[in-house]
A and B are shown apart, each in its own frame.
Chain A
Amino acid sequence: TQLLEQSPQFLSIQEGENLTVYCNSSSVFSSLQWYRQEPGEGPVLLVTVVTGGEVKKLKRLTFQFGDARKDSSLHITAAQPGDTGLYLCAGAYGNNRLAFGKGNQVVVIP
């Protein structure tokens, strides 16, 4: 069983602050994907990281894939209320099946 642990499960911060959330596993993945999900909707892809040590930036979001391809982090700079949502990490293994963590619920207070 492929397990991903995301921490913290819940994070509430003021607008303009920075935050980092984590996704950890004991398993190695061929790639790792981050999604954001709003209540009652499907996950929306943010980024895919493939190479160990890879860093990708998407505006104020910075994603890092661990050197051993077992863990990842998401850093948000100067958080905005629009960043509020459930952030899901998913590791790809086997024939492109995804194993998800439970998510990091982020709330940005105006």
Chain B
Amino acid sequence: DAGVTQSPTHLIKTRGQQVTLRCSPKSGHDTVSWYQQALGQGPQFIFQYYEEEERQRGNFPDRFSGHQFPNYSSELNVNALLLGDSALYLCASSLAHPDTQYFGPGTRLTVL
């Protein structure tokens, strides 16, 4: 039974570029949440997707957007990259009702 998977593992971009990160949830899970973890910090909630819609959102600008597909996989898009967007981006999956979240290995994004 595969856990949460994310791709790519590492990514290097320059300021102003756009990036797309991908996540496949744990088998049987229908809800995907995205978190940003800066160096030395705990993860910060970006947004959550359920039934292909953004269900709730943290305090992140509109440059951060997402999508969920019918198979429950999800993408995180970031436009107009800033140096401060450099972080580990984590995807977590769970069931719709309040439930434990399981994290993927993350995508390390470096913006130069």
Contact = CB atoms under 8 A, between A and B. Distances in A.
Interface of A: 4, 30-31, 33, 35, 40-45, 48, 88, 90, 92, 94-103
Contacts of B43: 43, 88, 90, 98, 100
A92 B108 contact: no
A96 B94 contact: yes
B98 A45 contact: no
Nearest to A103: B42
B110 interface: no
A100 B88 contact: no
20 contacts: A4-B42, A31-B100, A40-B106, A43-B43, A43-B90, A44-B103, A45-B100, A92-B98, A94-B56, A95-B55, A96-B97, A96-B99, A97-B45, A97-B48, A98-B43, A98-B92, A99-B45, A100-B35, A100-B43, A102-B41
Contacts of A98: 33, 35, 43, 45, 92, 101
Contacts of B33: 96-98
The 10 closest A-B pairs by CB, nearest first: A100-B42, A42-B103, A96-B98, A42-B105, A42-B106, A48-B100, A43-B103, A102-B42, A100-B43, A97-B45
Contacts of A42: 4, 6, 90, 103-106
A110 B6 CA distance: 34
Contacts of A30: 98
Interface string B69-85: 00000000000000000
Interface of B: 4, 6, 31, 33, 35, 40-45, 48, 55-56, 58, 88, 90, 92, 94, 97-106, 108
B106 A97 contact: no
Contact of A41 (B48, B55, B97, B106): B106
A41 B88 CA distance: 9
Contacts of A90: 42-43
B100 A33 contact: yes
